[in-house]
Chain A
Amino acid sequence: MPEVRYVRAIAEALAEEMARDERVILLGEDVGAPGGTFGATRGLYQQFGKDRVRDTPISETAIVGAAIGAALNGLRPVVEVMFMDFIAICWDQVVNQMAKMRYMFGGQVRLPLVLRTHVGAGLNAGPQHSGSLEAWAVHVPGLKVVMPSTPGDVKGLLKAAIREDNPVIVVENKTLYAMKGEVPAGEHLVPIGRAEVKREGRDVTVVALSRMVHEALKAAEVLAAEGVSVEVLDPRTLSPLDRETLLASVGKTGRLVVVHEAWAPCGVGAEIVAVVAEDGFHSLKAPIRRVTPPFTPVPFSPPMEKFWLPDAHRIVAAVREVMA
Chain B
Amino acid sequence: MEPTREQALGIYRMMHLIRRFEERVAECFAGGEIPGFIHLSVGQEAVPAAVCALLREDDLVAATHRGHGQCLAKGADPRRMMAELFGRATGYCRGRGGSMHLCHLPRGILGTNGVVGANLPIAVGTALAAQIRGSGQVTVGFFGDGAANTGAAHEALNLASVWDLPLVFVCENNLYAEFTPQAVHTKATAIAERAAAYKMAGVTVDGNDAVAVFAAAADALDRARHGAGPTLVEALTYRYRGHHEGDPMAYRTKEEVESWRQRDPIPRFQGWLLGKGFLSEADDQRLVAEVKSEVDAATEFARQSPWPAPEATLEDVYA
A67 near B319: Cβ-Cβ < 8 Å? no
A109 near B103: Cβ-Cβ < 8 Å? yes
With contacts A73-B60, A104-B93 taken as known, whether A142 is within 8 angstroms of B319 at the C-beta atoms is: yes
- A65 in contact (CB, < 8 A): yes
B126 near A62: Cβ-Cβ < 8 Å? no
In whole angstroms, how far apart are the Cα atoms of A105 and B135 in the complex? 24
For B98, the closest partner residue in chain A by CB is A104
Write out the residue numbers on chain B whose beta carbons fall within 8 Å of the beta carbon of A321.
none
Write out the residue numbers on chain A whose beta carbons fall within 8 Å of the beta carbon of B319.
141-145, 166, 239-240
Write out the residue numbers on chain A whose beta carbons fall within 8 Å of the beta carbon of B92.
105-106, 108
Q: Which residues in chain A, 23-74, are within 8 Å of chain B measured between CB atoms? A: 25, 51-52, 54, 56-57, 59, 61-74
Q: Is the interface of A mostly helix, strand, loop or mixed?
A: mixed
A72 near B105: Cβ-Cβ < 8 Å? yes
Write out the residue numbers on chain A whose beta carbons fall within 8 Å of the beta carbon of B292.
none
Write out the residue numbers on chain A whose beta carbons fall within 8 Å of the beta carbon of B96.
103-106
B115 near A97: Cβ-Cβ < 8 Å? yes
Contacting residue for B101 out of A51, A61, A104, A145, CB 8 A: A104
With contacts A70-B128, A73-B137, A96-B114 taken as known, whether A103 is within 8 angstroms of B156 at the C-beta atoms is: no
- B297 in contact (CB, < 8 A): no
- A188 in contact (CB, < 8 A): no
- A190 in contact (CB, < 8 A): no
B124 near A52: Cβ-Cβ < 8 Å? no
Contacting residue for B111 out of A67, A103, A105, CB 8 A: A105
- B95 in contact (CB, < 8 A): yes
A105 near B93: Cβ-Cβ < 8 Å? yes
In whole angstroms, how far apart are the Cα atoms of A61 and B159 in the complex? 11
In whole angstroms, how far apart are the Cα atoms of A172 and B235 in the complex? 45
| A interface residues with partner B (beta carbon < 8 Å) | 25, 51-52, 54, 56-57, 59, 61-75, 77, 92-93, 96-97, 100-109, 141-145, 166, 239-240
**21 CB < 8 A contacts A-B:** A51-B132, A59-B155, A63-B121, A65-B125, A66-B124, A69-B124, A69-B127, A70-B126, A73-B135, A73-B137, A92-B115, A93-B152, A104-B101, A105-B92, A105-B96, A105-B101, A105-B103, A106-B93, A108-B105, A141-B319, A142-B319
